[in-house]
Amino acid sequence: MKKIAAAALLAASFSQAGGTAFAEQQTEQLPVREHQSLVRDIPEQMPRFKFSSGYEFEYPDAVRGIYVTGNSAGGEKFSSLTKLVDETDLNAMVIDIKEDHGYLTYKPEENSPFRDIGKPYIKDMKKLMDTLQEKQIYPIARVVVFKDTELANKKPEWSFKDGDKVWKNGRGESFVNPFVQDVWDYNVQIAIEAAKMGFQEIQFDYVRFPEGFEKRDATLEYSIGDYKDVEMDNVQKRVKAVTDFVAYAREKLRPYDVKVSVDIFGYTATLPEAPGIGQNFSKISENVDVISSMIYPSHWTSYFGIAKPDTEPYRLVEEYAKLENRKLSELKTPPVSRPWLQDFTASWLGKGNYLVYGKKEVEDQIRALKDQGIDEYLLWNASNRYTPNVDYTP
């Protein structure tokens, strides 16, 4: 009964504060296990707070989207990108809200706890959202989670330390620690702010430990938090921490009536789990509305019997889609599949190992998904220069 009363009090505080009580609640966070128990004990018939941003978007027949950086969303390129969506069968944008270094792509209000990480790339968020609503472009907020050099340097105790310094990978990037619930709350609060702004979906990216973490597991210094006493090996603890974050974030975002999606390495669907990074395709899929595997042909080695995957985009995507369909069919409530496709040329692979990607190569990937019953997809080009004249519903 005490847990039910606590849940009622939590719901009341959300309702009375119009959804702004989240930041204050962070000082009294329950441990992960108690939180999950509390959520299970809330009666289904209990009234739940629902926040409305005031914006109305229809979910498309099938999401066909493009990636948009903060610079593009707030700059001159935005008009050409909206024109591209207007004049084609594209209908969605994945817009950076928290980008790869840990900065927000807009300046929050003066009293926001995130004011110091805001960058003025998107100068007028309301104008942006008004444009998206007017054109009915489905808005998805991309929130990069555990790759966060800014937060790692600000809070070394939330990160991984190599001696007395924050650890960096070969590209000079730092990660924060998925075992630390403060890191969860930090990112969930940013996601809630995006939901309040009118985004219809939160897409979490870099929901994982650093690549190759299994090689650094015993040498880096870091907290295991509430997972210290969990009777699992370190691989399973990493999987549990990543999966628990996704479940926790989805539950926290439920009152804001947004969908939750997660980007995941395509190769994780080919393994029981990725041992270093803590991603388990099936377990993450059970806790999201949408799963977005990054299946760029250029990012595979000799998989599916294909010696040079970048040169065979249709076949690579087809083989992956067959595998993913089998994995998702094993789940009781599978999420929507919405893979990331390649709209860039991977010339770094070297002569003979890549194709110049254009209309045919993009359409081949879309067609391969469609032939396997997958209608939704997202296109990635880091500089947001997308191939013209593509048939997006071939």
pLDDT tens per residue, range 367-393: 999 999 999 999 999 999 999 999 999
Angle value at C-alpha 281, between 377 and 298, nearest 5 degrees: 50
- The domains of the chain are located at 2-380
Q: Which residues contact 8 (CB under 8 A, 6 or more apart)?
A: 46
Coil, strand or helix at 208: coil
Q: Is the pLDDT of residue 29 over 60?
A: no
pLDDT of 273: 83
Please tell us whether the domain made up of 2-380 is placed in CATH 3.20.20.80. yes
State residue 297 phi and psi, 5-degree precision. -55, -35
What count of Cα atoms within 13 Å lies in the side-chain half-sphere of residue 358?
A: 2
The pairing of strands 259-265 and 92-98 is unpaired
Residue 48 confidence class, pLDDT cut points 50, 70, 90: low
Chain mean pLDDT for the chain: 90
Biggest CA-to-CA distance, the chain: 67
Per-residue pLDDT of 325-358, as tens digits, reads 999 999 999 999 999 999 999 999 999 999 999 9
pLDDT tier for residue 37 given thresholds of 50, 70 and 90:
very low
The overall pTM is greater than 0.85: yes
Among 330, 262, 320, which Cα is nearest to 295's?
A: 320
Tell me the H-state helices in the chain.
Answer: 2-16, 22-25, 32-41, 70-73, 77-86, 125-135, 149-154, 181-197, 234-253, 281-285, 313-329, 359-371
pLDDT of residue 15: 36
> SS3 for 277?
coil
pLDDT tens, residue by residue, 131-153? 999 999 999 999 999 999 999 99
Confidence band of 235 (pLDDT split at 50, 70, 90): very high
| pLDDT reported for residue 302 | 87
Residue pair 65/140 in contact (Cβ under 8 Å)? The answer is yes
Q: Where does 92-133 show beta strands of DSSP type E? A: 92-98, 104-106, 118-122
CA distances from 325 to 45, 64, 135, 317 (A): 34, 19, 33, 12
Tell me which residue of 296, 381, 376 sits closest to 338, measured CA to CA. Answer: 376
pLDDT at 49: 66
Distance separating the N- and C-terminal Cα atoms of the chain = 56
Q: What is the pLDDT of residues 153-210, one digit of tens each?
A: 999 999 999 999 999 999 999 999 999 999 999 999 999 999 999 999 999 999 999 9
Question: What pLDDT is recorded for position 234?
Answer: 93
Mind listing the pLDDT tens digit for each residue in 282-330? 999 999 999 999 999 999 998 999 999 999 999 999 999 999 999 999 9
Confidence of residue 41 (pLDDT cuts 50, 70, 90): very low
Render 321-382 in DSSP notation, one character per residue. HHHHHHHHHTSSSPPEE--EEE-S--GGG-TTS-----HHHHHHHHHHHHHTT---EEEE-T
Q: State residue 388's pLDDT score.
A: 97
Q: What is the pLDDT of residue 394?
A: 84
Nearest alpha carbon to residue 73 among 131, 144, 148: 131
In this model, does residue 17 exceed pLDDT 50? Answer: no
Q: For residues 168 and 23, is the Cβ–Cβ distance under 8 A? A: no
The one-letter amino acid code at 125 reads: M
Residue 56 carries which side chain, given as an amino acid letter? E
pLDDT at position 119 over 60: yes
- Tokens 């993009």, residue located: 362
> Residue 31: is its pLDDT beyond 50?
no
Q: Which of 30-39, 82-91, 211-220 has the lowest mean pLDDT?
A: 30-39
Nearest to 84 by CA among 62, 60, 68: 68
